Amino acid sequence: MSSVKGHETPAVPADLAEVDVAIVGAGLAGTSLAAVLGKAGYKVALIDPHLVHHEEFRAEKIGMSQMQVFEKIGLGPAIRPLVTPMTDIHVYRLGQFFQREQKWEFAFSYGALVNGMRQALPANVPLTVGKVAEVSTGPDKQRLVLTDGNVIEARLLVVATGYSEAIRRAIGIERVEESKAHSLSIGFDLAIKPHECAFSAVTCYAKRPSDRIAYLSVFPIGDRMRGNMFGYHTVAEDWTRRFRENPQQMLCDLMPEIAVMCGNFAVASPVEVRQVSLTTTKGHRRAGVVTIGDAFWTTCPTPGIGINRVVNDVDRLASTYIPQWLETPGMDADKICAFYDDPVKVATDEAGMRSSIYAKQITIETGVEWRLRRLRNNTARQLMILGRKFRHAGQPGMPRMA
Ligand SMILES: Cc1cc2nc3c(=O)[nH]c(=O)nc-3n(C[C@H](O)[C@H](O)[C@H](O)COP(=O)(O)OP(=O)(O)OC[C@H]3O[C@@H](n4cnc5c(N)ncnc54)[C@H](O)[C@@H]3O)c2cc1C
């Protein structure tokens, strides 16, 4: 049996002392999985140290494909009221208007999304607010002892604790750092309101590799206009300190082409900065326990694929593996490995890792291969811009192109 440091917890409801599935961690992955399994009639315990998920800068947008998975697994009605939908995204590249993307995206603040999903949990899945003090896993029973002495036994343990290491370490699952401090994510509110903007949403790519910025995305969350900027600086750099101190000036210098439509980048909130590393996992192929979401791998927010991995894990487990596993006795490592080897999961996770690495290389690498790739991409984009200018010359209603 392994121990985890923790403090006080309220009591576990008596009927949750023995469950089919115990899920530790009620972030987006754990809460979504608990909701789907609960609705399907499984006995589920969901445990998290906090009743209310704190407000933090994490994913703030998903695309249509992730929304379709939420709909497919029956969580559409819970998630739809929590998001701000948008379409018609104006994209700027090379300092000029490039194209309008008529694709659906859905924005949210992460804490509100997780809390809303928790409130939509079915009545048979209460959130147990508590910390795990001891955990033991094996081919038949998984046992959790909470810090108040309550015990939960389950046939399957799902670890959905995000970046947190305590439970993983106690079980013997290790994090492997594939790319330390891979990227920097920056979030802030703009002073301008959605109804004052000329466009519903804007994505603006940086112009020079030396800027070490991939892109800025400006979009509405409710009645706020939010900015998410992704790049390849580190938290400790002077650049980051200067950005925190004077975001407006630095944004105007970096992206003057969209400054006017963003209210000259007047910023109305503190600047939130998060450094993200790419990580994988080792020691996870074991009986009785499965890791999901960021507790399994972390990828980079820049290509926007973290939630893709979360919803895919939830879908594969809830639709296929957990019902199969619970049909027969035991929870040996072969059962668990079928999930880790699932071709859709492997492809989704690997695509997320590949695009995290590629996004950085194509933005900042200075070797000949990457300069040539950028030259090829940018030449094709310049031709598209020129072609559009030519076709639309003199037409009213188009954004002014520099
Ligand atoms: C700055 C930033 C921006 C991002 N932007 C995007 C984006 O634009 N698009 C995208 O797709 N992805 C993005 N991501 C990634 C995305 O946010 C994550 O992939 C996703 O939120 C992971 O969800 P999760 O449920 O696995 O983890 P989390 O949401 O972190 O949930 C973990 C839960 O476990 C609980 N917990 C921790 N320790 C314990 C313990 N010992 N016992 C019990 N419970 C515990 C925590 O309280 C928490 O509730 C971003 C990430 C960051 C950091």
With a 6 Å cutoff on the Cβ, whether 50 touches ligand 1 is yes
Same domain, 215 and 76: no
Question: Which residues span the domain enclosing 377?
Answer: 179-271+367-392
Same domain, 284 and 150: yes
- Closest listed residue to residue 118, CA positions, set 57, 31, 202: 31
Q: SS3 for the chain, per residue?
A: CEECCCCCCCCCCHHHCEEEEEEECCCHHHHHHHHHHHHCCCCEEEEECCCCCCCCCCCCEEEHHHHHHHHHCCCHHHHHHHCEEECCEEEEECCEEEEEECCCEEECCHHHHHHHHHHCCCCCCCEEECCEEEEECCCCCEEEEECCCCEEEEEEEEECCCCCCHHHHHHCCEEEEEEEEEEEEEEEEECCCHHHCCCCEEEEECCCHHHCEEEEEEEEECCEEEEEEEECCCCCCHHHHHHHHCHHHHHHHHCHHHCHHHHHHCECCCCEEEEEEEEEEECCCCCCEEECHHHCCECCCCCCCHHHHHHHHHHHHHHHHHHHHHHCCCCCHHHHHHHHCCHHHHHHHHHHHHHHHHHHHHHHCCCHHHHHHHHHHHHHHHHHHHHHHHHHCCCCCCCCCC
Burial of 209 (0-12, 13-18, 19+ CB in 10 A): middle
CA separation for the pair 272, 185 (Å, rounded): 8
Q: Is residue 15 domain-resident?
A: yes
Q: Dihedral sign for Cα 127, 128, 133, 134, please.
A: negative
With a 6 Å cutoff on the Cβ, whether 146 touches ligand 1 is no
Q: Is residue 402 domain-resident?
A: no
- Cα 267 to ligand 1 centre (Å): 25
Residue having the nearest C-alpha atom to atom 3 of ligand 1 = 58
Q: SS3 for 362-381, per residue?
A: HHHCCCHHHHHHHHHHHHHH
Give the residue, out of 164, 292, 349, 356, with the most ligand 1 atoms within 8 A of its beta carbon, to mutate for a pocket test.
164
Same domain, 349 and 374: no
Q: Is residue 98 domain-resident?
A: no
With a 6 Å cutoff on the Cβ, whether 161 touches ligand 1 is yes
Same domain, 377 and 327: no
User: Would you state the pLDDT for residue 394?
Assistant: 62
- CATH number of 132's domain: 3.50.50.60
Residue 191's identity, in one-letter code, is A
Same domain, 125 and 198: no
- CATH number of 193's domain: 3.30.9
Q: Which atom of ligand 1 is nearest to the CA of 187?
A: 1
Backbone angles phi, psi at 70, to 5 degrees: -55, -40
Number of domains comprising the chain: 2
Q: Is residue 280 domain-resident?
A: yes
Give the residue, out of 128, 216, 307, with the most ligand 1 atoms within 8 A of its beta carbon, to mutate for a pocket test.
307
Same domain, 11 and 113: yes
Q: Which atom of ligand 1 is nearest to the CA of 53?
A: 49
Give the residue, out of 89, 158, 294, with the most ligand 1 atoms within 8 A of its beta carbon, to mutate for a pocket test.
294
Residue having the nearest C-alpha atom to atom 4 of ligand 1 = 59
With a 6 Å cutoff on the Cβ, whether 170 touches ligand 1 is no
- Cα 113 to ligand 1 centre (Å): 12
Q: Is residue 92 domain-resident?
A: no
Residue pLDDT tens, the chain, 402 long: 443 433 334 556 666 789 999 999 999 999 999 999 999 999 999 999 999 999 999 999 999 999 999 999 999 999 999 999 999 999 999 999 999 999 999 999 999 999 999 999 999 999 999 999 999 999 999 999 999 999 999 999 999 999 999 999 999 999 999 999 999 999 999 999 999 988 899 999 999 999 999 999 999 999 999 999 999 999 999 999 999 999 999 999 999 999 999 999 999 999 999 999 999 999 999 999 999 999 999 999 877 788 999 999 999 999 999 999 999 999 999 999 999 999 999 999 999 999 999 999 999 999 999 999 999 999 999 898 888 888 877 665 555 433
Same domain, 161 and 283: yes
Note the pTM of the prediction, 2 decimals. 0.93
CA separation for the pair 305, 342 (Å, rounded): 18
Q: Which atom of ligand 1 is nearest to the CA of 292?
A: 26
User: Would you state the pLDDT for residue 13?
Assistant: 66
Q: Is residue 387 domain-resident?
A: yes
With a 6 Å cutoff on the Cβ, whether 230 touches ligand 1 is no
CA separation for the pair 265, 246 (Å, rounded): 10
User: Would you state the pLDDT for residue 401?
Assistant: 39
With a 6 Å cutoff on the Cβ, whether 26 touches ligand 1 is yes
Residue 165's identity, in one-letter code, is E
Q: Which atom of ligand 1 is nearest to the CA of 185?
A: 1
Same domain, 14 and 125: yes
Q: Which atom of ligand 1 is nearest to the CA of 274?
A: 1
CA separation for the pair 101, 318 (Å, rounded): 33
Question: Contact 293/27 with Cβ under 8 angstroms?
Answer: yes
Query: What is the greatest pairwise CA distance in the chain?
Result: 75
Q: Is residue 223 domain-resident?
A: yes
User: Would you state the pLDDT for residue 373?
Assistant: 95
Q: Is residue 89 domain-resident?
A: no
Same domain, 126 and 259: no
Same domain, 156 and 78: yes
Residue having the nearest C-alpha atom to atom 14 of ligand 1 = 59
User: Bridge-partner residues for 216, per DSSP?
Assistant: 204, 229
With a 6 Å cutoff on the Cβ, whether 310 touches ligand 1 is yes
Half-sphere exposure of 120 (CA within 13 A, CB side): 21
Same domain, 168 and 121: yes
Token pair belonging to 44: 């589920």
Question: Contact 221/268 with Cβ under 8 angstroms?
Answer: no
User: Would you state the pLDDT for residue 302?
Assistant: 79
Q: Which atom of ligand 1 is nearest to the CA of 307?
A: 11
With a 6 Å cutoff on the Cβ, whether 58 touches ligand 1 is yes
Same domain, 334 and 205: no
Q: To which residue do tokens 């995290």 refer?
A: 356
Token pair belonging to 165: 């290491």
Give the residue, out of 2, 7, 58, 229, with the most ligand 1 atoms within 8 A of its beta carbon, to mutate for a pocket test.
58
- Cα 95 to ligand 1 centre (Å): 33
